[in-house]
Every structure is written in structure tokens, then in C-alpha cells.
């Protein structure tokens, strides 16, 4: 069977060939496989671990001819750049005699053995018994199994279903199970998984691999990727999906990931109107939108809903030790404050003094020594802020391996930094917004909010990075350096919803949310009582707060 192609093959191009190699490695038992192909890749296209051994792989797709010695030189560079123990060059074609001779030369001089896998050998590996039909198939938790049953019923009976599952509860696992069910029931069927951002397309294709057999093709459809065939599972941006639908592409199942981006006047409406015969599954962890659009108005009432508060209360998310640092209040302003009409922006500016980076670092250090096997993410306000915080952290020897991840870095650097964090090589990630959606890092047990955000959606997404349950993890410690009244309202609302009695501000013994400054807590609790809908108010909303006391 010719899966990986030969010279002149019209199915795969260079990028899709690399992804097929990546997928093959997963089925061969590799772990932590990461595609780093692109500018500045240091001679490797794929990095992967198998049985504790790190491999670097150089992928060469050719329309004609054989692969020469330059590919061996490249992968040797990657071998040293990524601290690997094994190296391979893979191609849809064969290799020149010079390539073979270069392999022998490096083996004789330095003991490095570079493997050369041709298209025929790759196809042989794909057909080998060690290449499992499926890998890492998820065992659904009870609530996930319940969600799947309801979604399957609604898709069958109504052609529409909506899953609202908080970050950390496995919404992609449930969605992937639905995709597998649809393809099993409709052999040869087409599935379109659509998202709003190209980066999520890449993540979702990889996520789908875990839920379907190796025989089901997958491809990416974006402004940069134009597959020749849209069979099996196609993961696409909304813009590219609409373009292909206009040209006649018709999937049988449409999965809308991050469905809170779906709006009545958006391209999503055109997609759903044109593909009226398709079943549609919407999936989101955060259904709130700044424009108040209700996703249920299009997809119908949620088939299954489990929020962050209920997930915590029922033990489906790990225990929370939430520490609110609101001890940067300007008490002189509080003393002068009378019953005046201030906007939220005015109050935030006048009420909260700037937090020093040293204060954030010291509290992180204190928490670090009290948590077993600590792994931390620090969320910052901007690229400049993240770089400044990172520079302060790496001065501490045990944090010298801390990594940055933000949109200002190259794709390759973001991928490698995230891979190093997942593998334990990096103790801390200092991030801006690129970890909000689509990234799974279950071992995180310390979350530090060194940023200001009044978006409930962003807050819940970032908090969710630490709520996933994993082996050996007992709780997540959250350090929240608050400087926005809406964030205070959000935290107090979370505490109230977690309480065993709705009108009491205390938590079950497994959870704790407390202020570091009791005086600040008392003030905030009194103020928040008088601020209706403060959590989702805008900057210009004007509020009357009692003043003249402290």
C-alpha cells in the first residue's frame, strides 16, 4: 500500500508528507512528537521521544530524483541542536550513494548512526504489526460518556448539538469520539472541523489522530495549505472552509471548535446555510462573548453542559488553592472616596497601585517550595512584560531553564519551548495569550496571573490550564495579582458558586479561595455586593461605591 508516495505522486506535498511522518511516529509508539519544520528549525523537521530516547528526523519530499548527502548533514546539525540520541532522514523516494557514504562517514568518525527511510520502507513500517491501528485511544470519564450519548442522540435526531464543557474537562476528547462514531457509521464520510485561527487547525488535526484509525486521511485547509483531496477529516479555518464550500465541498459532519466565535452575521452563518444537510456539532469551553451573542440561538440549547464551578465541585477538576493578592490598594484614595459616580476604568486606575515584578517573583518562590514537583505558568500582560518577568526568573538558578512563549517568537521557538515544558526540561512557562486556547499541559500545578484581564472567557481559559487532573497532582495553586474590579467580582462569584450554600462565602474543604489581605477582602466583598453585573461590565460603566471608610 502506497501511503507515503513516491516521486511524481500527486497526493502529498512537502508539508503534508511531514505530518504523515509525524502521525506514523505516534502509531509506532513515539511520544511527545513535535513538528518544528520551518525557518530556523536547526536541521530537524520532527522531534520525538521513544522509550526515553530523543530522535530528530529530517523529512524530504521529492517530485523527482533521490535525496542526497545534504539531508544527512542537516539532520546531524539537528542531532546536536536538540540534544538527540538518534537521527533519521525520511523521504518518499530513495537516497543517493553520496547520502549513504555520508552516513557511513559520520558513524565511523563520531559513532552517530543516521537511519535512512525511503518511501518503500515507510510504507513497510506503516503496514507492520507494531504500527497500531489506533494509538492512545481515550477512555471516557463517566460525564464524558454521558455527554457523548446525548450528543449522538441530538445529532441523529435533530442534526444539531452543542457541547459546553469547561477547560480541563476534555471537550476535544468528546468531540473526537463523536467524529469517530460518525465515520464508523458512515464509511467514506467527510468531516469538517472548523476553527477561527490557523494555529488551532494544526492542533486539532493532531488531536483528531488519537480518535480515528490510521486508515482515515486527515488534512489541513488554510490560506497556506490547499490539499488536493478533502476526504476523511479536514481541519480548516472558517475563511478557507467557506471558500471550498462555495466551490461545492459538502461534509457530512461539521464540528465547530471554540464555538463561542460563532456569530449571527459571520462566515459561520454562510457555512451552515450552504451545508444545510450536514450534521453540526458546536464545542466550546467558554460560551460568553463580548457582544453578548448567544451561541444557543443558532445551535439550539446545549445538549450537555458542565461548567468550571460544577466541574470543581464534583471533583472532575483538581483541587484549587486560590490566593488573591489585592494588597496593592491605595488606602489614601479609599479614605478620600465618597459616594461618587466613577467609571470602572477610573476606579482601577485610582484604586490599585502597580504591582512590582519582585513581589510577584517572591510569592511564586514561596509557593514553589510548598508544592511537590512544581510546574508553573506565569501569564503576563504583554510581550515586553513577559520578557521582563522572564529575565527576573532566570536569575534564580533553579529557574534558569524557564521558557518564554508569546506571539513575538517564531513558531519553531514556541513549539520547542512548549515541548521542553511538557517534557519537564523547563520548570516554568512565561506566557502572554498564546496558551488561552487549544493547548493541553495537564501537569501544571501553579498558575500565576501577573496580568490584568477583565475578560471572563480569557480568565477561565487561563485558569483551566492548571485544572486538569494528572497522575501525582493533588491541587493547583493560583496566585492572582488583581488590579481590576471585574476580576475581583469574577473570583468572588467563583467562590460563591463553589460554596455549599449559595449565600455563604466559604468552600468545601477541598478548595480554598482567600485574599492575602483581610482588610482588602472585607472592602471588596462589601463593594461587590453593590455592583450588579460587575464581572462583565465595560470600562466606561459607572459605579457608586460607599466611601470614607477603611
Question: What one-character-per-residue DSSP string does 459-498 give?
Answer: HHHHHHTTT---TT--EEEEEE----HHHHHHHHHHHHHH
Which helix (H) or strand (E) is 29 found in, with range? none
Q: Is 208 exposed, middle or buried (0-12, 13-18, 19+ CB in 10 A)?
A: buried
81-97: per-residue pLDDT in tens?
888 999 999 999 999 99
Name which of 401, 415, 407, 396 is nearest 431 in CA terms. Answer: 407
pLDDT of residue 549 exceeding 80: no
Q: 496, 463 in Cβ contact below 8 A?
A: no
Q: Is the pLDDT of residue 508 over 70?
A: no
pLDDT given for residue 464 in this prediction: 76
* Cα 166 to Cα 467: distance, rounded to the nearest angstrom: 10
Backbone angles phi, psi at 505, to 5 degrees: -100, 65
> Has residue 25 got a pLDDT over 60?
yes
225-239, 339-353, 373-387: which range is least confident on average?
339-353
| Mean per-residue pLDDT, 219-223 | 93
* pLDDT of the residue at 278: 97
Phi, psi of 50 (to 5 degrees): -140, 120
Q: Read off the pLDDT band of 346 (50, 70, 90).
A: confident
What's the pLDDT at 506? 47
Q: Which of 12, 63, 15, 55 is nearest to 37 (CA)?
A: 15
Measured from the Cβ of residue 202, the count of other Cβ atoms closer than 10 Å reads: 20
Choose between 550 and 465: higher pLDDT: 465
324: which strand partners? Answer: 480, 515
Biggest alpha carbon distance in the chain? 86
Mean pLDDT of the chain: 85
Strand locations in 6-100 (E): 31-35, 46-50, 53-60, 86-91
**Average pLDDT estimate for 263-274:** 82
Q: How confident is the model at residue 501 (pLDDT cuts 50, 70, 90)?
A: very low
With bands split at pLDDT 50, 70 and 90, how would you rate the model's confidence at 404?
very high
Element (DSSP H or E) covering residue 109: helix 97-110
| 231 vs 536, higher pLDDT | 231
Closest CA to 157 of 52, 285, 300, 367: 300
- Of all residues in the chain, the percent with pLDDT exceeding 70 is 87
User: CB of 114 within 8 A of CB of 87?
Assistant: yes
> Which secondary-structure segment (H or E) carries 235?
strand 233-237
User: What is residue 520's predicted lDDT score, i.e. its pLDDT?
Assistant: 84
The DSSP call for residue 283 is E
**pLDDT tens-digit map of 510-534:** 778 888 888 888 888 777 765 446 7
Contact criterion met (CB below 8 Å) for 441 and 371: no
Within 8 A by CB and 6+ apart from 48, the residues are 22, 25, 30, 31, 32, 33, 34, 54, 55, 57
SS3 223: coil
Cα–Cα distances (Å) from 414 to 313, 419, 427, 480, in that order, read 34, 8, 15, 25
Q: What is the CA radius of gyration of the chain?
A: 26
Tell me how far apart the alpha carbons of residues 257 and 245 are, in angstroms, rounded to a whole number.
18
pLDDT of residue 504: 44
270-283 residue pLDDT tens:
999 999 999 999 99
By the 10 Å C-beta count (0-12 exposed, 13-18 middle, 19+ buried), 395 is classed as exposed
Residue 55 has pLDDT above 80, yes or no: yes
Residue 438: is its pLDDT beyond 60? no
Q: What is the mean pLDDT of residues 538-548?
A: 63
Work out the angle between the directed axes of helices 198-209 and 171-185 (0-180°, nearest 10): 60
Mean pLDDT of the region 189-214: 92
Q: Determine the average pLDDT of the residues in 416-444.
A: 76
Q: CA–CA distance from 387 to each of 44, 136, 365, 393, 432 (Å)?
A: 27, 36, 18, 10, 10
CB atoms within 10 A of CB 130: 8
pLDDT at 53: 92
Beta bridge partners of 456: none
| Integer Cα distance of 422 and 429 in angstroms | 10
Higher-scoring residue by pLDDT: 172, 542 = 172
pLDDT for the residue 326: 80
Residue 431's contacts (CB-CB under 8 Å, 6 or more residues apart) are: 377, 378, 379, 380, 386, 404, 405, 406
Q: How far apart are CA 510 and CA 319, in angstroms?
A: 6
Confidence band (pLDDT; 50, 70, 90) for 339? low
Whether 379 shows a pLDDT value over 50: the answer reads yes
- Give which of 338, 330, 351, 334 is closest to 550, Cα–Cα: 334
What pLDDT, on a 0 to 100 scale, did the predictor assign at position 104? Answer: 96
Collapsed DSSP state (helix, strand, coil) of residue 85: coil
Amino acid at each position: 500500500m502506497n501511503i507515503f508516495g513516491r516521486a511524481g505522486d500527486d497526493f502529498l506535498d512537502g508539508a503534508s508528507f511531514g505530518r504523515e511522518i509525524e502521525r506514523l511516529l505516534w502509531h509506532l509508539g513515539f511520544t511527545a512528537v513535535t513538528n518544528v519544520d520551518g525557518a530556523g528549525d536547526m536541521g530537524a523537521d520532527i522531534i520525538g521521544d521513544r522509550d526515553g530516547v530523543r530522535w530528530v528526523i529530517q523529512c524530504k519530499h521529492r517530485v523527482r530524483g533521490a535525496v542526497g548527502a545534504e539531508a544527512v548533514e542537516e539532520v546531524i546539525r539537528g542531532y546536536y541542536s536538540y540534544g538527540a540520541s538518534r537521527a533519521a532522514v525520511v523521504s518518499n523516494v530513495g537516497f543517493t550513494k553520496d547520502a549513504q557514504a555520508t552516513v557511513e562517514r559520520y558513524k565511523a568518525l563520531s559513532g552517530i548512526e543516521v537511519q535512512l527511510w525511503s518511501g518503500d520502507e515507510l510504507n513497510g513500517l506503516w503496514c507492520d504489526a507494531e504500527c497500531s491501528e489506533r494509538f492512545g485511544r481515550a477512555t471516557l470519564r463517566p460525564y464524558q460518556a454521558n455527554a457523548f450519548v446525548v450528543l449522538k442522540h441530538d445529532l441523529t435526531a435533530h442534526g444539531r448539538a452543542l457541547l459546553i464543557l469547561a477547560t480541563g474537562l476534555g471537550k476535544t476528547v468528546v468531540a473526537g469520539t463523536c467524529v469517530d462514531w460518525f465515520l464508523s457509521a458512515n464509511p467514506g464520510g467527510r468531516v469538517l472541523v472548523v476553527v477561527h485561527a490557523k494555529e488551532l487547525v494544526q492542533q486539532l488535526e493532531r488531536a483528531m489522530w488519537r480518535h480515528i484509525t490510521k486508515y482515515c486521511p486527515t488534512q489541513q485547509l488554510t490560506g497556506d495549505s490547499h490539499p488536493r483531496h478533502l476526504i476523511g477529516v479536514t481541519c480548516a479555518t472558517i475563511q478557507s472552509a467557506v471558500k471550498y464550500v462555495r466551490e461545492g465541498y459538502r461534509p457530512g459532519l461539521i464540528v465547530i471548535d471554540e464555538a463561542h466565535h460563532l456569530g449571527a452575521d459571520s462566515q459561520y452563518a454562510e457555512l451552515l446555510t450552504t451545508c444545510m444537510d450536514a450534521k453540526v456539532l458546536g464545542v466550546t469551553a467558554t460560551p460568553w462573548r463580548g457582544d453578548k451573542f448567544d451561541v444557543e440561538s443558532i445551535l439550539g440549547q446545549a445538549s450537555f453542559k458542565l461548567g468550571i464551578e460544577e466541574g470543581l465541585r464534583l471533583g472532575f477538576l483538581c483541587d484549587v488553592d486560590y490566593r488573591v493578592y489585592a494588597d496593592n490598594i491605595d488606602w489614601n484614595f479609599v479614605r478620600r472616596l465618597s459616594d461618587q459616580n466613577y467609571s470602572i476604568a477610573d476606579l482601577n486606575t485610582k484604586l490599585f497601585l502597580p504591582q512590582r515584578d519582585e513581589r510577584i517573583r517572591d510569592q511564586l518562590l514561596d509557593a514553589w517550595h510548598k508544592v511537590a514537583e512544581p510546574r508553573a505558568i506565569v501569564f503576563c500582560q504583554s510581550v515586553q512584560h513577559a520578557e521582563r518577568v522572564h529575565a527576573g526568573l532566570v536569575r534564580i538558578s533553579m529557574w534558569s531553564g524557564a521558557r518564554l512563549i508569546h506571539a513575538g517568537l517564531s513558531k519553531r521557538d514556541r513549539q520547542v519551548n512548549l515541548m521542553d515544558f511538557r517534557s519537564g526540561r523547563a520548570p516554568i512557562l512565561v506566557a502572554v495569550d498564546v496558551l488561552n486556547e487549544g493547548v493541553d499541559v495537564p501537569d501544571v500545578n501553579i498558575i500565576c496571573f501577573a496580568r490584568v484581564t477583565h475578560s471572563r472567557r480569557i480568565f477561565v481559559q487561563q485558569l483551566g490550564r492548571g485544572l486538569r487532573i494528572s497522575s501525582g497532582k493533588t491541587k493547583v495553586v493560583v496566585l492572582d495579582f488583581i488590579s481590576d474590579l471585574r476580576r475581583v467580582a469574577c473570583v468572588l462569584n467563583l467562590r460563591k458558586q463553589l460554596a455549599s450554600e449559595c449565600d455563604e462565602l466559604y468552600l468545601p474543604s477541598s478548595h480554598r479561595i482567600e485574599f492575602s489581605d483581610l482588610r482588602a477582602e472585607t472592602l471588596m466583598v462589601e463593594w461587590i455586593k453593590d455592583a450588579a453585573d460587575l464581572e462583565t461590565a465595560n470600562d466606561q460603566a459607572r459605579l457608586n461605591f460607599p466611601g470614607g471608610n477603611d
